[in-house]
């Protein structure tokens, strides 16, 4: 059997991490891996999560399974956080998942069950794992234009032109906020236009929202997702708790389905639970329970919200500092888009050769498409990076 397997391509970000660790230089900068780091270079356990863990340790009496769909209290807590009152609860189905990636996998499998001929339309560029997940479950892929590398913003006219070619029953994948890898986001009026064209084309939006609270705040970051849920008769929403709760290794996520009516909700709920069953049976609960505790306890929620805002403002400050430093070194504002982007990521617009030069000559590690993780910077490394970018002639 094993002789029939082929060697799989190495994950480029993990490869980059290994290269960074092997680099003996003390002034090297890691802008590759997509995790939040504080000024000390650590990914800390959030204060509210730590307190919730202590409370759970004292109060938990069993490690028995919850349910195939996960704990309903977790469903409710995340649904409230994401959607508020934007959608009728009687139309919503939900299952807990193994992280946001697991939610995307269940969503894609649900699409395949419902319409094997559906094409999944993804923005160009998008998170690299979107493509292999869709291919692995047997769905066709197509791209719509999204990012304008000249302006560093969304090429909305081209995006709308491409979405006009989407067929009924197709899936349109959208980033809820803090677009990965570009950091360029839709405005609320643009979200409104997307909802209109997706509905007109009888397509189904699939929103991947992994960074709520990292961009413009919890409410603003959910505004596009809420608009889609309120305007579109059907939608899928994959939510991750890894970043905004800092529980990466707990693998905590939720898949929400917005359905046309209660009868369809019940059918979707049963299918989603069955997909959980055949993939991993019962979803993990530890992270989900901590999130539920934080969101339903006023004191813990207030502390979490405050710390999340600290994280958000820290990244905005780093963005502004880097844009200012590059303006001073280059004599131009061509990197001004860095201050306008939101979330952890932006694309510098460097060539693959320039990315290699940054790594070899300056110890600056980034993904080959020049995506940088803003949270990999601190006050000391911003001027070092700016010097390296200017010296490389990007």
Domains along the chain with CATH numbers: 10-45+312-392 (3.90.1150.10), 65-296 (3.40.640.10)
Q: List the end-to-end C-alpha distance of the chain, in Å, as a whole number.
A: 49
Question: Nearest 5 degrees, angle CA 142-CA 145-CA 149?
Answer: 140
Encoding tokens for residue 33? Answer: 């891996």
Please name which of 374, 389, 381 lies closest in space to residue 317, comparing C-alpha atoms.
374
Helix residue ranges per DSSP H, the chain: 12-22, 47-59, 72-83, 99-114, 130-136, 156-163, 188-200, 218-231, 262-279, 286-296, 298-330, 337-340, 352-362, 381-392
Cα dist from 77 to 103, 212, 222, whole Å? 16, 14, 14
From the list 52, 210, 257, 325, the catalytic residue is: 210
- Low-confidence stretches of the chain (pLDDT beneath 70): none
Give the predicted TM-score (pTM) of the model: 0.96
Alpha carbon 119 to its chain centroid, in Å, reads: 21
Taking the C-alpha atoms of residue 299 and residue 51, their distance in angstroms, rounded to an integer, is 10
Helix or strand or coil: residue 51? helix
From the list 191, 243, 323, 388, the catalytic residue is: 243
Taking the C-alpha atoms of residue 71 and residue 288, their distance in angstroms, rounded to an integer, is 8
Question: Is the Cβ–Cβ distance between 385 and 322 less than 8 Å?
Answer: yes
Q: Pairing between strand 92-98 and 119-124?
A: unpaired
Question: Quick one: pLDDT at residue 288?
Answer: 98
Question: Quick one: pLDDT at residue 39?
Answer: 86
Question: Quick one: pLDDT at residue 13?
Answer: 85
The verdict on whether 243 is a catalytic residue reads yes
* Residue 192 exposed, middle or buried by CB count within 10 Å (0-12, 13-18, 19+): middle
From the list 77, 87, 121, 127, the catalytic residue is: 127
Encoding tokens for residue 265? Answer: 């909700």
The verdict on whether 210 is a catalytic residue reads yes
Question: Quick one: pLDDT at residue 158?
Answer: 98
From the list 155, 162, 170, 208, the catalytic residue is: 208
Please name which of 179, 215, 221 lies closest in space to residue 82, comparing C-alpha atoms.
221
């Amino acid at each position: 059997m094993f002789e029939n397997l082929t060697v799989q391509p190495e994950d480029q970000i993990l490869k980059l991490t290994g290269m960074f660790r092997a680099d003996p230089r003390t002034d090297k900068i890691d802008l590759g891996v997509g995790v939040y780091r504080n000024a000390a270079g650590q990914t800390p356990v959030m204060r509210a999560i730590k307190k919730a863990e202590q409370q759970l340790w004292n109060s938990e009496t069993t490690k028995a399974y919850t349910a195939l769909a996960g704990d309903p209290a977790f469903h409710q807590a995340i649904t409230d956080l994401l959607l508020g009152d934007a959608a009728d609860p009687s139309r919503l189905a939900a299952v807990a998942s193994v992280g946001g990636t697991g939610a995307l996998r269940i969503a894609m499998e649900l699409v395949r069950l419902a319409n094997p001929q559906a094409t999944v339309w993804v923005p160009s560029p998008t998170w690299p794992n979107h493509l292999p997940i869709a291919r692995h479950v047997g769905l066709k892929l197509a791209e719509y234009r999204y990012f304008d590398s000249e302006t560093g913003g969304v090429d909305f006219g081209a995006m709308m032109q491409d979405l006009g070619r989407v067929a009924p029953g197709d899936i349109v994948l959208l980033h809820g906020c803090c677009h990965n890898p570009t950091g360029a986001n839709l405005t609320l009026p643009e979200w409104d236009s997307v909802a209109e064209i997706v509905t007109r084309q009888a397509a189904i939006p699939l929103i991947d929202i992994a960074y709520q609270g990292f961009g413009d705040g919890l409410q603003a970051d959910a505004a596009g997702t809420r608009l889609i849920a309120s305007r579109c008769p059907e939608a899928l929403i994959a939510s991750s708790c890894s970043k905004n709760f800092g529980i990466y290794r707990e693998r905590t996520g939720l898949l929400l389905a917005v359905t046309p009516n209660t009868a369809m909700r019940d059918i979707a709920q049963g299918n989603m639970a069955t997909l959980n069953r055949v993939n991993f049976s019962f979803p993990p609960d530890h992270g989900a329970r901590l999130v539920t505790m934080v969101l339903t306890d006023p004191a813990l929620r207030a502390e979490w919200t405050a710390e999340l805002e600290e994280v958000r403002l820290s990244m905005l400050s780093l963005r502004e500092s880097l844009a200012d430093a590059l303006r001073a070194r280059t004599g131009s504002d061509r990197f001004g888009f860095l201050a306008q982007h939101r979330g952890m990521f932006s694309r510098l617009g460097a060539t693959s050769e320039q990315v290699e030069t940054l790594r070899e000559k300056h110890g600056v590690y980034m993904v080959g498409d020049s995506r940088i993780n803003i949270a990999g910077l601190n006050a000391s490394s911003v001027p070092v990076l700016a010097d390296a970018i200017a010296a490389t002639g990007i």
